[in-house]
Structure 1
Amino acid sequence: MNALSNEFDLAEATMLSPDTGTAGEPDPALVTEQWEAVHEAAAAVGVLAQLGRETIAPEVADLPQRAARKGGWHYAMAARGIDDIAAFMQPGLRALLALTAKGQDTTAAALTLWREFHAARCAIGELVETA
């Protein structure tokens, strides 16, 4: 297996729980930043899974903004879901990178993490789209 160098720097990722604003709802700017960070992590996982980097559709990219406009429990649950994705992507990616650094094949594990990410992302999208 060839060693993959990654462009994903965990030090630059915002993988923390979004702060809540004065109304008790998460800050939309922080939720958007976290959404972008989990997609950067997913891009690194996609490379490790031998899938390449995904092109993000506009409706996926602007999901946090749509959720914030919807407000209420839809937004709160979407923000929590993004936080949950971050909670499993960060340690998952760290583990994959550690194994890669040791020269081990991480394709199957990366593909599993990739699928979990997509399932969670779809669930958040469906939540935001519900009436």
Structure 2
Amino acid sequence: MSSMSHEFDLSHATMLPPRGERSNAVLTPGEVAAQWDAVHEAAAAVAALAQLGPEELDEELRDLPQRASEAGGPQFELVARGIDDLAAVMQPGLRALLAMTDKGLDTTSAALTLWREFHKARDAIAALAAKA
């Protein structure tokens, strides 16, 4: 089996560390939007490692942090925490996949599993935002 090479460099990752490593404060709307973009960047890397094509984000998903911010209150907090939790899964998952690639291992199956989990979590977050 041949493994894919990668050009992903996490040294400049924009993904914020999970809240547990920072504080108990709720993320700001700007942080939530940045985190949302970062998890999608990580998901794009995972998709490449799973040998999938790039995903086109529709406007509804792209604008999810803005809609949640406008709703405010508990709904925003739930969405923010959901995005933060998703980042907490994507960061180590992508790092593990990149470590596998560096060792010359095939990442396709593991990356596909993480890709599916990403989509399940993102769908749940989108459902929270839809209730807002």
- Please give the TM-score of this superposition, normalised by the length of structure 1: 0.89
Match of 2:99 in 1: 98
Q: Are residues 1:79 and 2:80 paired?
A: yes
- Give the C-alpha shift of residue 10 in structure 1: 4.5
RMSD: 1.9
How many residue pairs end up in the alignment? 128
Quickly say closer, same or farther: Cα 1:10–1:117, change in 2 above 3 A.
farther
Q: String of CA shifts for 1:60-93, please: whole Å, max 9, x gaps.
A: 1110000010111110000000000000100000
- Give the C-alpha shift of residue 12 in structure 1: 2.4
Quickly say closer, same or farther: Cα 1:117–1:8, change in 2 above 3 A.
farther
Unaligned 5+ runs, structure 2 = none
Which stretch of the first structure deviates more once superposed, 9-18 or 102-111?
9-18
Q: String of CA shifts for 1:5-44, please: whole Å, max 9, x gaps.
A: 2345343222324689xxx652101110010000000000
Q: Is the 8 A contact 1:15 1:38 kept in 2?
A: no
Which stretch of the first structure deviates more once superposed, 62-71 or 8-17?
8-17
User: Relative contact order (C-alpha < 8 Å, sep 6+): which is higher?
Assistant: 2
Quick one: distance in 1 between partners of 2:39 and 2:27? 17
Match of 1:9 in 2: 10
Quick one: distance in 1 between partners of 2:126 and 2:11? 25
Q: Is the 8 A contact 1:6 1:44 kept in 2?
A: no
Quick one: distance in 1 between partners of 2:90 and 2:127? 20
Q: Is the 8 A contact 2:3 2:107 kept in 1?
A: no
Unaligned 5+ runs, structure 1 = none
- Give the C-alpha shift of residue 102 in structure 1: 0.8
- Give the C-alpha shift of residue 58 in structure 1: 1.2
Q: Is the 8 A contact 1:44 1:53 kept in 2?
A: no
